Every structure is written in structure tokens, then in C-alpha cells.
Amino acid sequence: MQFFANSDELHHVMNELWMRIGRDPDMLEKLLASKLIVQFQYREPEGRVTIDCSDGIEMRVSTGEQLLKPIVEMSMKADVAHEFWLGKVNVPFAIVSGKIVSRGPVQKALTLLPVIKPAFDIYPNVISQFKTVTA
Amino acid sequence: MNPFVFHVPTKIAFAEGAGSSTCEIVKELAGNKALIITDKPLLEGGYLTSVLEGFEDMPHVIFSDVPSDSDVDCVNTIAELARTEECDCIVAIGGGSVMDTAKVVNICLTLGGEILEYQGLNNIAEQLLPLVAVPTTAGTGSEVSMVAMVKDHTEGKKLLFGSRYLAPSVAILDPLLTVSLPPKLTAATGLDALTHAIESYVAVISNSVFTDSLCTDSARMVFENLRTATKNGADIEARSQMLVASTMAGVAFTNSGVGVVHALAHSMGAKFGTHHGIANSIFLPHGILFNMDIAAERYARLARMVGVSKSTKDLTATKDLLDAIEQLCIDCGLPRRLRDAGVPELNNSDIEELVVLAVSDPAIMFNPKDCSEKDIQELYERAY
Ligand SMILES: NC(=O)c1ccc[n+]([C@@H]2O[C@H](COP(=O)([O-])OP(=O)(O)OC[C@H]3O[C@@H](n4cnc5c(N)ncnc54)[C@H](O)[C@@H]3O)[C@@H](O)[C@H]2O)c1
Ligand SMILES: [Fe+2]
């Protein structure tokens, strides 16, 4: 069974997670320095989360359809994203086995993997809060 | 057992003189008009006669202007030619530069649109036109790999394309076509193959017995044959072993990845145009030393399996592997430091730029040990 019941749940969790990432000065500084616009495209359920660091000053998080053209797109099942944030996804394996599809200069996004690792500790918290909210 | 996925989408045909049957194979793939991609030294040196003779009764067009460091402009020019000539299949005859170019041309030709739209991993989701790869170097494994890189000169970096649909339909391995490869390139490309085998064997996801056996056998074949292939290029048995070893290592790395050595080599190629095999040969021992504290058990097992160590102690066996690589490189006349390979003295801004390129290279993701920017910087300094 898929972890997220619907797109709203998925968007809600991812939005909260990225907001908290944005409150961590270390992660924020490095994300802004990348000046990337990364869009996560999820399926089962459908979802779009766009992280815009392009001006290097402010990180903007938005969910749902966007007019903004991302520099890098990462597509995967929402369950893969859930497992990723729990620190349970072996990213190289997920790429080799085709579970993660990336479009654009993927090199730039991959450099951010070590940067966002501290968020693995934040995610369970977001999930538990989210579960209480929806309970 | 750990999970794994293992793909070999390419049919592999090996024989002395196999190149002369290229056209027949293209016809089997239902090609009507072939786009043959190669480079000037190969065409003008007359090395491809046996392959091209076969195409006398089949419509074809030849593009032979692929530069060593092929780029997006070259890809677009070839794709345009192919469209005008209405080609429906591609034949790549050459080294990694030619084969990588042909793979990216195939994306353009089949899918149309802007090439930059297709860079990424697993981003191509449909069958491309038939592509037959005929390697003339024994090193890159591009004839079976699911990746291709070409330079974007405007941005000064290499673009990466990775998809199982990028693997050529057929790889034709003809050792006779590698006989003309000069000693230095024979040695350098051979070290590329050895680096694929060794890096794949210790890569973070190298957990399949399929890739393991390809790695150990191909590494052994390189140790046993590269000296002869370099010193006596006409030795067909040594050339055959090298060609097959390089394809085997190609199958291995395209399934389990490479590592920090390739990340460093790609950055040197992008910034200074250092030949991929030469750069790998210089960085390989440094990469092993760097990974040694966490991968000694794997290196040691490889050293024993390829016959360069009898030691039961992992650190000693890894040291034996390092010595064997060093001796092989010296015997084959390969430079051992970047400064001896024509790389100018590295100033701080060069190193900074190289570090950015290396840490963002996807190869690094597969390295068994995490590499910080400082680690990378130290590796450049040691290799210089
Ligand atoms: N896609 C992959 O899986 C993969 C893997 C490793 C390397 N590569 C790429 O491959 C490229 C390097 O390829 P390479 O090492 O094969 O060298 P190359 O294709 O650049 O060729 C080097 C030179 O050797 C000459 N040459 C090739 N075969 C010859 C022959 N039989 N006789 C005489 N001259 C010959 C060529 O004309 C050229 O001048 C790099 O761009 C690297 O990024 C790709
Ligand atoms: Fe290589």
C-alpha cells in the first residue's frame, strides 16, 4: 500500500519538510549557493514540489503545477521519496535500477545529496506531526 | 544476498575479422541507409577498409570529423546530416569519443528537439534507432555501456546522458581493428579498462556476482595481456584478450558504477583535455589508497583473484595490487604524475574549479567512501 493517501497529504508533508530545511542555516546556505531550481515529480499519488534557490537569496517552496521551468527534475514514486527521506534509499542503486529518473544537469543536484542528509533526522518528526494532525 | 539489477541490452559478437560483417549485421537490424560515424585519423589511415568494403552495396553516408573531445556542436552537425540523408541506423567505428558521439547523435535523430533536454539519468524512455558499435580501442566499454558524455564547450563541461536505451544494439569486437592503435594509446585505454574493473568491483552497489566475476576476470586479462599488446601491437591474441576484457569491464561498470578515480579523470578531461585513460592510470593508485581503509577486503580479494597477491592479509594484498598496477604502468610507459602528462602547474583557482567538477560528477556517488572537497583537493595535489 502506498504511504501517502493522496496528493494533498504528500504536498503537505513535503512542504513542511522543506520549510524546516529552510530554517536550518547550514543546509539553507548550501542550497542557496547552488542557485538551482529543482522540481520533484511524484506519482502514486501524483505530486509536484518545486524548490527555487535561483536568486541565491531566498529559498521558495511551492507545491502543485508550476509555470517556473526547473533546471533539474527528479521523478519517482512518492513511496521512493518517503523511503529516501527516512534514509533508506540507496540512491546509486535507485538510479541504476531506474527507480529515480532525473532530467537536466543532474550532476548539480547530486552534489546536494550530502547537503540535505541532516533532513533525514527531521523527516520522522514531520511525519509524526502530520499523522497526529490527520488522525 | 543483496538486491541487484543486471542489464546487458547489447548483443556482443567477437571474431578476428568480425568488422567485415558489420554491414550484414546492420541489414539484419533492418537498416536501409547507414550513418557511419568515425574520426579522421582512422579513416585517412586506411584502418577501416575491411569494415567499409562491406557497405559498398548498401546506401550509407560517412561522417569522419569527430574530434577527440567531441561536443554538442559536432552532435548537432551529424544529426542534421543524418536527417538530410534520411539515415535510419547508425554505425560507430572508433574509440570512446566516436562511440559516445554516436550515442548522443542517436538521441537527437530519434527523438528530435534540443539535445540539452535529454541530459540526465533514465530520462530517455523509448527505443532509439539501431546503433552498431565497432570499437577500435580496448578501454572505454562504451560499446556496451548505457552512458555517454559529450562536451558543452559554451559551459566548459561534459554533459551526461544515461539510459538503458543508450546501449548500442550490437557491439562488434574485431581485434584486427585495434592493431594500429599506437603503444601509448594502447596502454592508456587499457588502464581505462582496468580502472573500470577495479572501481566497479569496490563500488558502493557492486553486490552482484555477475559484475564481480566480470571485474575479476577482466582485470586479470588486462594484467596478463596489456604489456604484450603495448609492446607488440600485432599480437592478435593479446589484442583479443584486451578487447574482450574491456567490453567485460564495460558491462560491469555500466551495471555497478565507477568511483572517485573516474570523477577525478573526468574533471581533468574537461579542464585540461587530459586523455581519459592516462588520467585514470595516474589517479587509480591514489583512489585505491584513499579507499583502502574501508575497501581493503575487496581490493585484497581482487588482488588474489587476478593473481598479483598470495597474501592472506588484506592490507598486504591491497599493497600488492598497488605495486602490480604501478609496475604495469611503468612497463607500458605511462606517465605516473599529472605534471608528466602535460598538465600545467595547478594554482588555487585551477584546483578549486577541478574540485567543483569532481564532487559533482555522478561517478563519485558510486565510490565506496564519501569524499569531501578537502579529500579531492588532496588527491589532486598527490597526483600532481
Ligand atoms: N560511454 C562510456 O561508457 C565511456 C567510458 C569511458 C570513456 N568514455 C569516453 O571515451 C573517450 C575516450 O575514448 P578512447 O580512450 O577510446 O579514445 P578516443 O576515442 O578519444 O581516441 C583517441 C585517439 O586514438 C585514435 N584511434 C582510435 N582507434 C585507433 C586505432 N585502432 N588505430 C589508430 N588510432 C586509433 C583516434 O583517432 C583518436 O585520435 C572520452 O571522451 C571518455 O569520456 C566513455
Ligand atoms: Fe573510463
In a domain, A128, yes or no: no
Report the distance separating Cα B127 and Cα B163, nearest Å: 10
Band (pLDDT 50/70/90 cuts) for residue A129 is confident
Name the average pLDDT for chain A: 91
Strands B157-162 and B120-121 turn out to be parallel
Q: Which residue of A72, A96, A100 is in closest CB contact with B255?
A: A96
- Beta-carbon pairs below 8 A across chains A and B: 63
Closest atom of ligand 1 to CA, residue B262: 6
Number of H helices, E strands in chain B: 13, 9
Cβ within 8 Å, pair A101-B120: yes
Range of the domain at A65: 7-121
- Distance, in angstroms, between A5 CA and closest chain B CA? 27
Strands (E), B123-224: 131-135, 147-152, 157-162, 170-173
For residue A88, the 8-state DSSP code is -
- Distance, in angstroms, between A40 CA and closest chain B CA? 14
In a domain, A133, yes or no: no
Q: Is residue B257 in contact with ligand 1, taking CB distance under 6 Å?
A: no
CA neighbours closer than 13 Å in the CB half-sphere of residue A104: 15
Report the distance separating Cα B103 and Cα B129, nearest Å: 10
Q: Which residue of B117, B121, B370 is in closest CB contact with A95?
A: B121
* Residue of chain A with shortest Cα separation from B152: A105
pLDDT tens, position by position, for chain B (384 residues)?
777 889 999 999 999 999 999 999 999 998 899 999 999 999 999 999 999 999 999 999 999 999 987 899 999 999 999 999 999 999 999 999 999 999 999 999 999 988 988 999 999 989 999 999 999 999 999 999 999 999 887 777 788 999 999 999 999 999 999 999 999 999 999 999 999 999 999 998 766 899 999 999 999 999 999 999 999 999 999 999 999 999 999 999 999 999 999 999 999 998 999 999 999 999 999 999 999 999 999 999 999 999 999 999 999 999 999 999 999 999 999 999 999 999 999 999 999 999 999 998 889 989 999 899 999 999 999 999
pLDDT value of residue B333: 98
In a domain, A21, yes or no: yes
Band (pLDDT 50/70/90 cuts) for residue A112 is confident
Cβ within 8 Å, pair A111-B360: yes
pLDDT value of residue A135: 41
Q: What is the ipTM of this complex?
A: 0.81
In A36-75, the residues whose Cβ lies within 8 Å of chain B are 72-73
Cβ within 8 Å, pair B360-A96: no
Ligand 2 is an ion; its neighbours by CB within 5 Å are B 192
User: Does residue A88 carry a pLDDT above 80?
Assistant: yes
Pocket test for ligand 1, best of B43, B49, B107, B136 (most atoms within 8 A of CB): B136
Sign of CA dihedral B245, B251, B256, B257: positive
Q: Are B81 and B61 within 8 A, CB to CB?
A: yes
Q: Are B216 and B379 within 8 A, CB to CB?
A: no
pLDDT value of residue B207: 66
Residue A45: CATH number of its domain:
3.30.1050.10
User: Does residue A114 carry a pLDDT above 90?
Assistant: no
How far lies B355's CA from each of A68, A71, B265, B358, in Å? Answer: 30, 22, 11, 5
In a domain, A2, yes or no: no
- Quick one: cell of B124? 530517455
- Report the domain count for chain A: 1
CA neighbours closer than 13 Å in the CB half-sphere of residue B257: 27
Measured N-to-C along each axis, helices B209-231 and B276-306 cross at an angle, to the nearest 10 degrees, of 120
For the whole model, what pTM was predicted? 0.93
pLDDT value of residue A133: 52
Q: Separation of A101 CA from ligand 1 center, angstroms? A: 28
Cβ within 8 Å, pair B120-A97: no
In a domain, A48, yes or no: yes
Strands A37-43 and B120-121 turn out to be unpaired
Report the distance separating Cα B151 and Cα B143, nearest Å: 19
> Which range (A16-20, A62-66, B1-5, B303-307) has the least confidence?
B1-5
Report the distance separating Cα B43 and Cα B91, nearest Å: 14
Q: Is residue B177 in contact with ligand 1, taking CB distance under 6 Å?
A: yes
Domains of chain B: residue spans and CATH: 11-177 (3.40.50.1970), 181-383 (1.20.1090.10)
- Distance, in angstroms, between A36 CA and closest chain B CA? 13
pLDDT value of residue B294: 93
Partners of residue B360 in chain A, C-beta under 8 Å = 107-108, 110-111
